[in-house]
């Protein structure tokens, strides 16, 4: 019987955990866009128009932005500030001025 050294088992465990965490993170990111669609349908459609697909829009929602002191658009929406929700998209437009949108 071939016995694996404990270091290899530890790396297997860590690699498996990273794969599971990555899959869970991706699912949560996609859930964020589902929540945007349910709560702010017109904003979600505008984000889709600018970004081209749900995956890119979902990642945009969950990526920290320096314009908002490192907060994500998702965090700003969670604060419930109705006045600033369209500012999110305007901030995106300003940061992307002159840059092509890639699908």
Closest CA to 78 of 42, 43, 48, 36: 36
Question: Taking phi first (over 0 means left), then psi (-120 to 50 degrees means alpha), and beta for anything else, what does residue 67 get?
Answer: alpha
Q: What span, in angstroms and rounded, lies between the C-alpha atoms of 60 and 41?
A: 16
State residue 58's pLDDT score: 95
State residue 69's pLDDT score: 84
For residue range 81-98, list pLDDT tens digits in order. 666 667 766 665 555 444
State residue 91's pLDDT score: 60
Report residue 99's pLDDT band, with 50, 70 and 90 as the boundaries: very low
State residue 93's pLDDT score: 53
Distance of CA 74 to the CA centre of its chain: 8
For residue range 25-79, list pLDDT tens digits in order. 999 999 999 999 999 898 899 889 989 999 999 999 999 988 778 888 889 888 8
Helical pair 41-51 and 85-95, crossing angle rounded to 10 deg: 10
State residue 103's pLDDT score: 36
State residue 79's pLDDT score: 87
pLDDT higher than threshold 60 for residue 3: no
């Amino acid at each position: 019987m071939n016995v694996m050294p404990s270091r290899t088992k530890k790396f297997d465990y860590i690699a498996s955990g990273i794969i599971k965490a990555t899959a869970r993170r991706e699912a949560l990111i996609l859930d964020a866009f589902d929540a945007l669609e349910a709560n702010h349908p017109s904003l979600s459609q505008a984000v889709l128009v600018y970004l081209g697909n749900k995956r890119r829009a979902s990642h945009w929602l969950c990526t920290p932005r320096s314009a908002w002191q490192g907060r994500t658009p998702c965090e700003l929406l969670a604060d419930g500030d109705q006045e600033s929700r369209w500012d999110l998209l305007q901030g995106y437009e300003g940061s992307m001025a002159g840059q092509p949108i890639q699908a």
